[in-house]
Structure 1
Amino acid sequence: MYYFGSNGDAVTGLRHYGNNKLEYYGTDHVQYRNRYASQGKQLYYFGSNGDAVTGLRHYGNNKLEYYGTDHVQYRNRYASQGNQLYYFGSNGDAVTGLRHYDHNKLEYYGADHVQYRNRYYQEGNKFYYFGGNGDAITGLRHYGNNKLEYYGTDHVQYRNSYANVGNTRYYFGSNGDAVSTNRPQTEADIIGSMRVAQKAQQIVTVVQDGESTATLKLWQKQGDTWRNILISSSRIGNGGIGNSHEGSSTTPKGAYHLSFAFGKGATAQTAGMSYRQIKPTSYWIEDQNDRQYNTWQDRSWANNKNEHLIDYTKAAPHNQYELAVVMDNQGQNNGSGFFIHVKNQWPTEGCVSISLSDMRTLVSHLGTKAYVVDVQNQAQLKNY
């Protein structure tokens, strides 16, 4: 098919005619039919009657493309037909499956290339839910008759696992629904809901129960639950637990990483935590004018503002450092030399002390992700 213009010459290229109709003639002047033509970055498709198509075009093995009212093929953009939304990729084809875009956004297109909205999608063992705008949701989703489910930052639905939202802890069962129960919150639930629980494998809680006494508990993470494996009566600072400073004899309130263990023996059993043996040259630097303040140092001499560690490895009641663990409060400006160590008959100067046998049990369970939380009452645990 040829078309001859007003000067009698056969046309080449694009020819607009009628009511927004378009056709194309090659360099041989033959009209394009059932084929593509490009002009610069714009691509067209001409149907069996020679007209450029508009709207959706199905072709090949379940492939789909879209041409606008200007007949140009859509690329890297959306198109809607009625209530159905499509996305056309860089090759002009409508996408199927999961599509990641922008900052951690996710959408899904079915085998018919239509975007999922207000519906689920399953891929293997992973479940997603796509909301009214087509984006996969994250966080809590309320639905049905008081039902609740949760989706992580990867948009995957939680199943058989816990999720902490603010100060509230949920458990989601094998069908993805939050488990409903009337049982009161247990102490293990409180431990699991703490912020520090998200990075810890062991948590030592020290809850004040007297003027200079407290109850120490060791909690071990097992799967998604926390199990109590030690309860010990402890002594704390003369000033109890609170806001401390150098010389205040107050056990510092807060959460601290337990960085390493130390003691009199050459070795000690731990669950991965490092251990140091005290030597005659070992000091804990508590002189605030010393540039190595609040650290362990091996020196030939240190002034009397510093703690000579070996002096506390003698016979009871001067055996506090027969075994100890460091509460790492570096940069807290709340004092120095805070440890969990062996108990004698006196309050401490800010440390936490328990019996030697309990100290050995405690250290044997501590790894590299162990933390201590010192509080004045159990309710304060939720602050950490």
Structure 2
Amino acid sequence: MSTTIEQAKEFLSPPGDTIQETIDIMGMSQAELAERMGRPKEKVNDVIKGREPISTNTAFQLEKVLGIPASFWLNREKEYRRELFELEEQAFYEGCIGWLQNFPIPQMKKFGWLPNTREKHEQVVAMLKFFGVATPDEWTRIYVHEEVSVAFRVSLANTQNPHAVSAWLRMGELQAKQLNVLEFDKKRFRENLFVVKELAFEQPEDFDVQLQKICATCGVALVYTPNLPKAPISGATRWFHNKPIIQLSGRFKTDDHFWFTFFHEAGHIILHGKKDIFLENLEGTEIDQEKEDEANTFAAKMLVHQMALKAILNSFPLNEQKILEVADMFEIPPGVIVGRLQHMGYLPYHEFNNLKRKINLFNY
């Protein structure tokens, strides 16, 4: 606490000062006051020193003994506690500034996640409300100390910047709360992934909105959240308040990455449990490699099934025309085919990238 705040607290006058002044004028001692009130002397002294608040019962006892209305004492107490609380809150905000400065505040303001204010105490309040926690200690327990967390099931302690990562994930939760999502139906979700494949091939201008609606009808909250500095996450999957969430950043801005990431996250929902949380492309978190491999295989087969892959490999040596022909035949985005072949080592990463469609989920 700063010296200024400490001094301000010392200058506050508790209601007990007025009690002491009143009995001094009357020539009454604290011992006599306590006796007339039927209270222990130590308790009355605690009230006078401000260590004990004036309760309704105490206020009416003072009214009877000193002749000053109970309402006066209660209002005096209320005002004193309000002033004391404001000073303690100010000290609390000062103590939170170090925690606050670890977050990418400018970017969060730019995205509209936080109000555009320079006042530190307002920023602290906004950040606490953003995370839905009372103090930075609760944030630490939820996002860093995994062993005591019930709201978050993976520790971010070893990530490069747990503050930025937690902010990105929290925004996804807040976005998911705003969606009208039906009860989760795994069978329907799995069936609708073939509808999503058609959407990926056609990729209309509003494909992102259509994709979100398809997921919502199956009980999956799909949200798009832009990356924050030092939180390079492509996607994440977890259950939050009994709702599965797929969170995508559109980080690489091409259709092969976007659709593979979506189907990878969808694979986690279909194949894995509600207690798991998966963060893609994020170093410092524990990775269940077996489950990641399962989700990768699921995505690869959904996007480019074996028959299509065989037809592509039989078309070597490739040129753009052959890739486009196979893409039309099996209704697979050409960029997805190129990305798959590059990942498998059949194509160098610099070839045929012009066939990949650009995807920009955000207008900033």
TM-score, normalised via structure 1 length: 0.24
Structure number with the higher helix fraction is 2
TM-score, normalised via structure 2 length: 0.25
Structure number with the higher strand fraction is 1
- Higher alpha-carbon Rg: 1
